[in-house]
Amino acid sequence: MRSLSGRLDLCSINTATLGHKESIAQVIDDVARSGFGGICPWRRDFADYDVAKAARRIRDAGLKVTGYCRSTYLTAVTEREYQENLDGNYRAIDQAATLEAECFVMVVGSLPAGSRDLARARAKVVEGTASLCQYARKAGVRLALEPLHPMYAGDRSCLNTIAQALDIADALEPDAGETPTLGVAVDVYHVWWDPNLERDIARAGALNRLFAFHVCDWLVPTRDFLTDRGMMGDGIIDIRFAREIVERSGYQGLVEVEIFSELNWWQKDAETTLATCSERLQSLC
């Protein structure tokens, strides 16, 4: 297992951690100046900033792009909406290619409004992922299926375990070999509770499908379903144990911090948040 002490070059900041308050140009500069080795931007960061320009700025700053967040949900009420979602994702995959991102992070959606048919939503996710996989392979972009915590199964993601993600990857890309297009993003927030965590991460590693590793913490109590993630060390996840499993299974990428925290960290300035991430990554993760 790698030591992160003095190795911020092995660490990355997901731009959501800073609350999307500053321009992406500013965030790139802040993250690089703080010594981190990588960044993971969101599509919303490019609402008024050119992706190619940002890609150059990121490269010039010496940062890797550990991922690009995130897919439009695949599930939809109508077939037309489903096609529009695919189209949006094709464009985002092109942007991920421009950014030379390690992966395009896929949050797949769940039950369309009015539906209780989880099996159908899951089948639609497989169908959509198949289409995106073909497109992404040609674009040279890897797709990281991100299982979301089961508390999001009603609205945000019907993909809820690493095993489920790997089953999809294996079904769609059975003989992927050394360089699969489909893999998983392991975020400790979503999977820390899973009784099969070690088994399934080992399986992902053996298949070369570990594309991203995200850290933050689970607060007790948690006050909001979406935006009350904790800084590493402030909650109850054994993050170092999770990293040990991931690295033992072959993961050699960066450790990415992704914290949604409306009530705490998003209210602080970027410098404070980045300094705290730096300290916690090196001492606790």
Our finding on whether 161 is near a copy of itself (CB under 8 A) is yes
Our finding on whether 155 is near a copy of itself (CB under 8 A) is yes
Contact window for a copy of itself (CB under 8 A) among 21-29, 84-92, 178-186, 216-224:
216-224
Our finding on whether 166 is near a copy of itself (CB under 8 A) is no
Residues in contact with 254: Cβ distance below 8 Å, sequence separation at least 6, in sequence order: 10, 11, 12, 37, 38, 64, 66, 213
Question: Closest distance between a copy of itself and the C-beta of residue 158, in Å?
Answer: 8
Q: Which of 1, 138, 225, 263 binds a copy of itself (CB under 8 A)?
A: 225
Q: Is 79 exposed, middle or buried (0-12, 13-18, 19+ CB in 10 A)?
A: exposed
Site track 27-66 with a copy of itself (rule: CB under 8 A), x = hit? ----------------------------------------
- Cβ-contact 206, 246 below 8 angstroms: no
* Token couple for 125: 């996710």
Question: Closest distance between a copy of itself and the C-beta of residue 272, in Å?
Answer: 25
Our finding on whether 84 is near a copy of itself (CB under 8 A) is no
Contact window for a copy of itself (CB under 8 A) among 5-13, 91-99, 234-242, 254-262:
234-242
- Cβ-contact 128, 86 below 8 angstroms: yes
Contact window for a copy of itself (CB under 8 A) among 25-33, 88-96, 114-122, 250-258:
114-122
Question: Closest distance between a copy of itself and the C-beta of residue 53, in Å?
Answer: 37
CA gap 246, 22 in Å, rounded: 32
The residue type at 271: E
CA gap 189, 215 in Å, rounded: 7
Question: For the residues of 103-155, what is the DSSP string, one character each?
Answer: -EEE--B-PPTT---HHHHHHHHHHHHHHHHHHHHHHT--EEE-PPPGGGTTT
Phi then psi for residue 133, to 5 deg, are -65, -45
Number of residues that bind a copy of itself (CB under 8 A): 31
Contact window for a copy of itself (CB under 8 A) among 41-49, 95-103, 146-154, 259-267:
146-154
Give the interface with a copy of itself as residue ranges (CB under 8 A). Answer: 111, 115-118, 122, 149-151, 153-155, 158, 160-161, 163-164, 192-195, 218, 220-222, 225, 235-238, 241
